[in-house]
Amino acid sequence: MVTTSPDKDPVTDAQAPSAKPGGGVPVQATPVGATTGAPAELPPSSVAGRGMFGISGSGDTSGFGGLVRRRVGAGGSERPYGGYFDEVYDALEEAFPGLDDAIEKVVVDRGELTLHVKAERILDVARTMRDEESLRFELCSSVSGVDYLGSDERRLHVTYHLTSMTYRRRVRLEVAVGTEHPHVPSVAPVYPTADWQERETYDMFGIIFDGHPGLTRILMPDDWEGYPQRKDYPLGGVPVEYKGAEIPPPDRRRSYQ
């Protein structure tokens, strides 16, 4: 179910041997053991879901072998998307001229449709999604960020979960920006509920939402430095002693990938 041929695994190829799982020790063993019963279409950059406890290419499962966090990435999906996804995309295409310029890729995974939108077009797309009769995504359920550190220069993603109460559909919009210029137009003019959620995303990831009515920190103190949910922001913590042994803080403990 998972393609293991090297030519279809560009990420692992591009990495230096020492950055590979298992310290890059080449072992010609067919992965056996745990399968998680996952959907068959895994993104090509991943080697998860095979091998004993996910380890492949090495017998080292101790966690000490220079294991690295794998990249999250997913290729775009092709038509037909299935379910109501085609209908949604067609309706959006009809109502939004030049959609192909605005959409970077479409991903259908685990029964969810994700439209990757260019950051500068997100407000227009959101407005069409809300106003168009055949789309009617009235409710913006959730706005939040994800930091895909190490993926590419546009590592900061913002996800918008839209809900159509009329048609009982859900769609995720996603935009990606870099840390150098983390600017995304605010969707608060279209969805007032995004106000606080964008403030939280700014607070946690440092993504600046242009046109937001009052973009300030919301959960952290006003004078806080740094953006805590970014992956390069440390968790912090102090070691604690328990029955004579010293337990390191969670981010310094042995890390299994």
Partner 1 sequence: MTTNPSYAPERETSEGKVFTVTGGDWDTVVNGTDPVSDERIIVNMGPQHPSTHGVLRLILELEGETVREMRSVVGYLHTGIEKSIEYRNWTQGTTFVTRMDYLSPIFNETAYSLAVEKLLGIEDQITERASTIRVLMMELNRISSHLVWLATTGMELGAISIMLYGFREREYILEIFEMITGLRMNMAYVRPGGVAQDVPDSAVKKIQEFLVMMPKRLKEYEDLLSGQPIWTERTQGVAVLDVTACVALGVTGPVLRSAGLPWDLRKTEPYCGYENYEFDVPTSNDADVWGRYQVRLAEIRESLKLVEQALDKLRPGPIMVADKKIAWPAQLALGVDGLGNSLEHVAKIMGQSMESLIHHFKLVTEGFRVPPGQVYVAIEGPRGELGAHAVSDGGTRPYRVHFREPSFVNLQALPAMAEGGLIADVIAGGASLDPVMGGCDR
- Residues making contact with partner 1 (CB under 8 A): 34-39, 42-43, 45-49, 53-54, 61, 63, 69-74, 109-110, 112, 114, 138-142, 144-147, 159, 161, 163, 165, 168, 170, 172, 191-193, 195-197, 200, 204, 217-221, 228-229, 235, 250-251, 256-257
The residue (of 98 and 144) whose beta carbon lies closer to partner 1 is 144
The residue (of 93 and 252) whose beta carbon lies closer to partner 1 is 252
For residue 248, the minimal CB distance to partner 1 (Å) is: 11
The residue (of 121 and 136) whose beta carbon lies closer to partner 1 is 136
For residue 36, the minimal CB distance to partner 1 (Å) is: 6
For residue 179, the minimal CB distance to partner 1 (Å) is: 16
For residue 111, the minimal CB distance to partner 1 (Å) is: 8
Q: Is 95 helix (H, G, I), strand (E, B) or coil?
A: helix
The residue (of 100 and 216) whose beta carbon lies closer to partner 1 is 216
User: Do residues 188 and 211 make contact, with C-beta atoms less than 8 angstroms apart?
Assistant: yes
Q: How many helices (H) and strands (E) does the chain have?
A: 5, 9
For residue 28, the minimal CB distance to partner 1 (Å) is: 22
Q: Is 140 helix (H, G, I), strand (E, B) or coil?
A: strand
User: b vs e for 204-243, b when ≥16 Cβ sit within 10 Å of the residue's Cβ?
Assistant: bbbbbbeebeebeebeeeeeeeebebbeeeeeeeeeeeee
The residue (of 135 and 204) whose beta carbon lies closer to partner 1 is 204
The residue (of 124 and 167) whose beta carbon lies closer to partner 1 is 167
For residue 81, the minimal CB distance to partner 1 (Å) is: 16
| CB under 8 A, 24+ apart: contacts of 143-147 | 143/187, 143/194, 143/197, 143/198, 143/201, 144/197, 144/200, 144/201, 145/201, 145/204, 145/205, 145/207, 145/229, 147/205, 147/229, 147/230, 147/231
Beta bridge partners of 122: none
